[in-house]
Amino acid sequence: MNIDLFLTIIKNVLDICLVWLGLYYILKNIRNNVKMTLLFKGLIILLIVKVVADWLNLFTVGLLLEYIIMWGPLALIIIFQPEIRNTLEQLGRTQLLGRHKTLTLSEREKMVSEIVNAVEYLKKNRIGALIILERDYSLREYIERAKKIYAEITSDLLISIFFPNNPLHDGGVIIQGDKITCAGAVFPTSVDGRIGKRLGTRHRAAIGISEESDCISLIVSEETGRVSIAINGDLSYNLTLDDVRIILLEELQPKTDFGNEEIETEGDSNE
């Protein structure tokens, strides 16, 4: 085998690996974003209709679909500019250059304990709260419009933020890693018709941001004191404090690149 043939093989393998890597990140972000998932399904349907139209010689339908396919990418870039920007941010994010570290088991337990202690007080005193825990999908666009804090997570701080008459009371808190990044964040409300009318703006905002990202949305109702968690657009309503603790610890476990949970040992963690 001469050097030219060897280099050609290396180039071909590299070419294939880069294509698969790009597809992996695209599919990963589609899975983590409900709007992009619906868009992907819509594109598949359009392609199927185009094939059927060509097969049946439907000239008008085929012509319209050709225009959609021709100008569709430009429209998608404009409409999904925030999602595309966040995807590029994630592609450029590495563990060394990331904004926050991967938490150990003991750090996660401490963080969850502080959150649950705060939720217990808020629940008992019927103080409304919305706490968002960022995971893989960046929430920078909401952080930029909120009040920056970047402080250690403590129950006292969370309680003071949501205490009545506090200017930040009506907004949401965003947590990145083991830090409270901002408060007073405003999120899009869900328009899902299946959501009960008894749920207010705070719950709809929690479901809305969970539909757009892979975050964990924790809600305390101001009217009833009930605690709920929204993940991937699904709301678990009226949870106990033990339920909240278990869900947070499970959902905050680090994942491998293939979506499997990382194995941890005791030594790794020292309305």
CATH number of the domain where residue 228 is located: 3.40.1700.10
The confidence band for 35, taking pLDDT boundaries of 50, 70 and 90, is low
Percent of the chain with pLDDT over 70: 80
Residues 118 and 63 reside in one and the same domain: no
Looking at per-residue pLDDT, the higher value among 170 and 37 belongs to 170
Phi/psi of residue 243, each to 5°?
-60, -45
Residue 270 resides in a domain:
no
What integer is the mean pLDDT of 177-198?
A: 85
pLDDT at 255 over 70: no
Residues 85 and 120 reside in one and the same domain: no
DSSP E strand stretches across 73-226:
129-133, 147-152, 172-176, 179-185, 216-220
Strands 227-231 and 234-239: antiparallel
Q: How many domains does the structure of the chain reveal? A: 2
Mean of pLDDT over the chain = 81
Residues 110 and 29 reside in one and the same domain: no
Residue 212 resides in a domain:
yes
| Cβ-based neighbour number of residue 72 at 10 Å | 14
Residue 266 resides in a domain:
no
The confidence band for 262, taking pLDDT boundaries of 50, 70 and 90, is very low
Residue 16 resides in a domain:
yes
Residues 215 and 116 reside in one and the same domain: yes
Measured between alpha carbons, how far is 53 from 250 in angstroms, rounded to an integer?
48
The confidence band for 258, taking pLDDT boundaries of 50, 70 and 90, is very low
Last residue of a domain, one of 91, 121, 150: 91
Residue 271 resides in a domain:
no
Q: Residues for the chain: how many in total? A: 271
**Selection from 8-12, 178-182, 242-246 with the highest mean pLDDT:** 242-246
What integer is the mean pLDDT of 24-37?
A: 66
Residues 64 and 110 reside in one and the same domain: no
The pLDDT, as a whole number, for residue 96 is: 37
The label of the residue with tokens 């050609």 reads: 8
Residue type at 198 in one-letter notation: R
Residues 118 and 244 reside in one and the same domain: yes
Q: Exposed, middle or buried: residue 208 (CB in 10 Å: 0-12, 13-18, 19+)? A: buried
Residues 135 and 57 reside in one and the same domain: no
Residue 170 resides in a domain:
yes
Last residue of a domain, one of 91, 115, 131: 91
Helix (H) or strand (E) holding 17: helix 3-31
Asked whether the CA dihedral 253, 258, 260, 263 is positive or negative, the reply is negative
Least confident window among 31-40, 43-52, 123-132, 240-249: 31-40
Is 145 in contact with 108 (CB distance < 8 Å)?
no
Residues 73 and 132 reside in one and the same domain: no
Residue 260 resides in a domain:
no
Residue 150 resides in a domain:
yes
Residues 245 and 118 reside in one and the same domain: yes
What integer is the mean pLDDT of 196-224?
A: 90
The confidence band for 270, taking pLDDT boundaries of 50, 70 and 90, is very low
Residues 128 and 232 reside in one and the same domain: yes
* Residue 67 belongs to domain spanning: 3-91
Percent of the chain with pLDDT over 90: 37
Paired with 217 in beta bridges are 132, 230
What integer is the mean pLDDT of 263-268?
A: 43
pLDDT digits (tens, 9 = 90+) for 49-88: 888 888 888 888 888 888 777 777 777 777 767 666 665 6
pLDDT at 193 over 80: no
Measured between alpha carbons, how far is 147 from 173 in angstroms, rounded to an integer?
9
The pLDDT, as a whole number, for residue 88 is: 62
Residues 210 and 177 reside in one and the same domain: yes
The pLDDT, as a whole number, for residue 168 is: 83
Last residue of a domain, one of 34, 59, 91: 91
pLDDT at 242 over 60: yes
Contacts of 160 by beta carbon, 8 Å cutoff, 6+ apart: 166
Measured between alpha carbons, how far is 161 from 169 in angstroms, rounded to an integer?
6
Residues 30 and 122 reside in one and the same domain: no
Is 169 in contact with 163 (CB distance < 8 Å)?
yes
